[in-house]
Amino acid sequence: MAPVDEFPPGSVKIVRAGSIAVGVFRLPDDLYCAIEDRCSHDDGPLAEGDYDLDEGVVICPRHGSRFDICSGRPLSLPAYEPVDTFPVVIEDGWVKVDVT
């Protein structure tokens, strides 16, 4: 999907996985998590918002809903439905997201 060197520590990169836009976050301790770039509240962009990697939280830029980056669980209103997350593997220097 993308080389590891495109994911510096503390970063997010939005990638396409088939027809899905996915935010791939590199959290502390080289933990990679991938969450769909779509807020469950209003289908707006999610991974383009602010984030706090120490807390593992992404914040929707439209209405401020907070989501757990690795589980997709909503942490605040107005969102109450989770967002899809996807497994990430590092293989031969590449970050790969499995959206199947």
| CATH code of the domain covering residue 29 | 2.102.10.10
Look up residue 44 and give its two tokens: 């707006």
CA gap 22, 35 in Å, rounded: 6
Predicted pLDDT at 77: 97
**Domain count along the chain:** 1
**Residue range of the domain that includes 24:** 2-97
Q: In what order do the strands lie in the sheet with 12-17?
A: 12-17, 20-27, 31-36, 85-86
Predicted pLDDT at 1: 75
Residues 94, 3: contact at Cβ < 8 Å?
yes
In the chain, which residues have pLDDT < 70?
none
In terms of DSSP bridges, do strands 20-27 and 31-36 run parallel, antiparallel, or are they unpaired?
A: antiparallel
**pTM greater than the 0.75 cutoff:** yes
